[in-house]
Amino acid sequence: MNMSVAREHFEPAGAWAAQGRQPRIAIIGAGFSGIGALIKLRKQGYTDLTCFEKAEKIGGTWRDNHYPGLSCDVPSHFYSYSFEPNPDWTHRFSYGPEIWAYMNKVADKYEVKRDIHLNCGVTDLKYLGPQWQLTTEHGDVEIFDLVIAATGVLVNPAYPAIKGLYSFAGLQWHSARWRDDVSLQGKRVGIIGTGSTACQIVGAIAGEVAHLDVFQRTPHWLNAMPQKKYSATWRFMLRWVPGLQLAIRNFMRWLMEYTFARATLGDEKQQQRVQDACEAFLQEQVPDPELRARLTPDYKATCKRMIMCSDYYPALQQDNVALITDRIAEIVPEGVKTADDKVHELDVLLLATGFKVSDFILPTRVTGENGLELAEFWRDAPRAHRALTFPGFPNFFMLEGPTGVFGNTSLIDISEHQIACVIAIIDRMKQEGVAVVAPKQEAYEAYNRAMSRDIGKSTWATGGCDSWYLDATGTPNIYPWLPQRYREDMLNPDFSEYRFEQLPVAVS
């Protein structure tokens, strides 16, 4: 969609706070974080909002991913907006279509779709001081006072560096680009990857394909998915019993943060409990010692994001499913050739190989003060101040940014607290009439030194695995402390860590 924009929006208008006008705020991305930002900002009285979404529909990860078996591994009543609880969740762990429907329902209720420009990706952001020049893929140019990147993490699919990847003569696609128009019934299918996505897909399709080859590079620790379908009576109670939904949400948060989160951050007793549970689950589900040995990782269970899936182990033991642990040598027109020179002939090849998690807003070009580009700023590894802001990039915020709280928790909950922090900073700008805000270089460096020091004590770093949390330096790009500490920091920002300036800084 090509936008028609009033001429005055193209011209810098000076510092909004000093002029006493509404700030023009650009939000990039219309997933859970972007929609949450629209709702919360409007509620706080900031109404000049424009959200740019590159796709034809809202939804982010839950729009792009619609593969068979897709579900969330965070409980439904925790994986939802705190301000919009949903008593009608049908399962304890929601399936993808229901989550996407919930997101659309919330967007409609709060009438934020009017602020979203679909099919309108952002290609370039340039800081002009104190404002940002935004360019869309259609060549439209606008000026904004503040920019909030809500582009998420699981955005750009990662394709494996395997020789001959595109020489396959059959059908091939990434799990995040699922072909709904292709039936797998009766076909010979191969899937590369054994992470959470692959486990869900394997469990869902094993019963319909003629044969399924699961190509495993590294085994993962799994635990049972304690799935439960909610009855109509239970949903009625959630709707009409005051405080029940909030109590469940708080319990789910506590359960996830005081078990797995603590297990990853040095609580050896909790780590051992998780380890024991995973080993017991594998022992119970896979009686064959040879297969069980091939499925047993050589690293700690809390070294990677925990996979909860009850269908994967049973699927691997079906007669029409084979676990292939030989190294993939190359992809050939007939299928996958492994290191033993065997060609596994396939009709369809599925790539469950994850995402480029270090991209964040990239490949959008973001140029800050003095011509500094974000890609160059991140040359060694993506870093941020409190996973939210960057020195040299004033009036620019990133939800779910680098070194944020990931692991097994609700990113919706985390992004809500980040939005609260952004609003607190904007409110401060308004109160003091300032034009520019950015983290101080020394605060950014001190924060990241502390993170690098303490993340080294976690099983993300010491567990002996190669996870997608590791950046180019081999350091886990993840928050090293308990999630509740992050929430407290977001709700009580230390403004001394930021520079607030009345006049724009000269840029080139």
3-state secondary structure 309-329: CCCHHHHHCCCCEEEECCCEE
pLDDT of the residue at 465 = 82
The runs of H, that is alpha helices, within 86-147 are 96-109
**Range 201-217 average pLDDT:** 97
User: Is the pLDDT reported for residue 165 higher than 70?
Assistant: yes
What is the structure's pLDDT at 331? 98
Q: For tokens 């304690």, what's the residue?
A: 226
Architecture of the domain defined by 165-351:
3-Layer(bba) Sandwich (3.50)
Q: Judge contact between 397 and 147, C-beta under 8 A.
A: yes
Burial category of 129 from C-beta neighbours within 10 Å (exposed 0-12, middle 13-18, buried 19 and up): buried
Domains in the chain: boundaries:
20-63+96-122+356-501, 165-351
Strand, helix or coil for residue 144: strand
pLDDT digit string, tens, across residues 176-194: 999 999 999 999 999 999 9
Please state whether the peptide bond connecting residue 363 to the residue before it is cis, i.e. omega within 30 degrees of 0: yes
Mean pLDDT of 333-355: 97
Range with the poorest average pLDDT among 140-144, 212-216, 375-379, 495-499: 375-379
What local confidence, expressed as pLDDT, does residue 457 receive? 87
- Tell how many helices (H) and how many strands (E) occur in the chain: 16, 21
Integer angstrom CA distances of residue 180 from 49, 56, 64, 212: 34, 17, 12, 18
Asked, colleague to colleague, whether 20-63+96-122+356-501 and 165-351 share their fold, the answer is yes
Q: Which two tokens stand for residue 503?
A: 């006049």
Query: Residues 358-381, buried b or exposed e (16+ Cβ, 10 A)?
Result: bbbbbebebbbbeebebbebbeeb
Give yes or no for a cis peptide into 382 (omega within 30° of 0): no
Q: How far is the C-alpha of 464 from the C-alpha of 297, rounded, in Å?
A: 10
E strand segments, 53-185: 116-117, 122-127, 132-136, 141-144, 146-149, 171-174
Output the pLDDT for position 504.
54
Looking at residue 302, what is its pLDDT? Answer: 87
Beta carbons within 10 angstroms of residue 108's beta carbon: 10
Q: Cite the DSSP H helix spans in 4-95.
A: 16-19, 32-43, 61-64
Q: Regarding predicted confidence, which is higher, 152 or 373?
A: 373
Residues 241-283: tens digit of each pLDDT: 989 999 999 999 998 888 888 888 888 899 999 999 999 999 9
Contact 282, 313 (CB under 8 A): yes
Q: Quick one: pLDDT at residue 265?
A: 85
User: In sequence order, what are the beta bridge partners of 472?
Assistant: none
Residues 128-153 have a mean pLDDT of 96
Instruction: Please compute the mean of the pLDDT values over residues 140-144 and round it to a whole number.
Output: 97
The band of 508, judged by pLDDT with boundaries at 50, 70 and 90, is very low
For residues 143 and 8, what is the distance between their CA atoms, to the nearest angstrom? 9
Type and span of the H or E element at 438: strand 436-439
Which CATH number, 3.40.30.10, 3.30.1330.40, 3.30.230.10, 3.50.50.60, labels domain 20-63+96-122+356-501?
3.50.50.60
Kind and range of the H or E run holding 64: helix 61-64
CA 320 to mean position of chain CA atoms = 33
Q: What CA–CA distance (Å, rounded) separates 444 from 41? A: 26
pLDDT band at 126 (very low <50, low <70, confident <90, very high): very high
Amino acid identity of 285? Q
Whole-number Å distance between alpha carbons of 341 and 360:
39
Q: If you count them, how many residues does the chain have?
A: 508
Phi, psi of 108 (to 5 degrees): -70, -45
Name the band, by pLDDT with cuts 50, 70 and 90, for residue 506: very low
What are the start-end ranges of the H helices in 433-477? 441-455, 459-462
Residue 15's pLDDT is 87
Task: Give the mean pLDDT of the chain.
Answer: 92
User: What percentage of residues in the chain have a pLDDT greater than 90?
Assistant: 80
Give the pLDDT band (50/70/90) at residue 12.
low
What Cα–Cα distance (Å) separates residue 67 from each residue in 71, 178, 209? 9, 6, 15
β-strand pairing of 307-308 with 222-223: parallel
pLDDT band at 8 (very low <50, low <70, confident <90, very high): very low
Of 202, 260, 214, 163, whose CA–CA distance to 68 is shortest? Answer: 202
Per-residue pLDDT, averaged over 411-418, amounts to: 95
pLDDT tens profile 32-91 = 999 999 999 999 999 999 999 999 999 999 999 999 999 999 999 999 999 999 999 999
pTM for the complete prediction?
Answer: 0.94
Tens digit of each residue's pLDDT (9 = 90 or more) over 306-327: 899 999 999 999 999 999 999 9
Beta bridge partners of 146: 25
Surface-to-core class of residue 141, CB atoms within 10 Å of its CB (0-12 exposed, 13-18 middle, 19+ buried): middle
Q: How confident is the model at residue 1 (pLDDT cuts 50, 70, 90)?
A: very low
> From CA 203, how far away is CA 212, in angstroms rounded?
11
- pLDDT of 505 > 80? The answer is no
Distance CA 135, CA 254 (A): 43
Q: What is the spatial distance between Cα 283 and Cα 337, in angstroms, rounded to a whole number?
A: 31
How does pLDDT run across 452-487, given as a tens digit for each residue?
999 888 888 888 888 777 777 778 888 989 888 999
Tokens of 355: 């995402």
Summarised one tens digit per residue, pLDDT across range 19-36 is 989 999 999 999 999 999
13, pLDDT greater than 70:
no
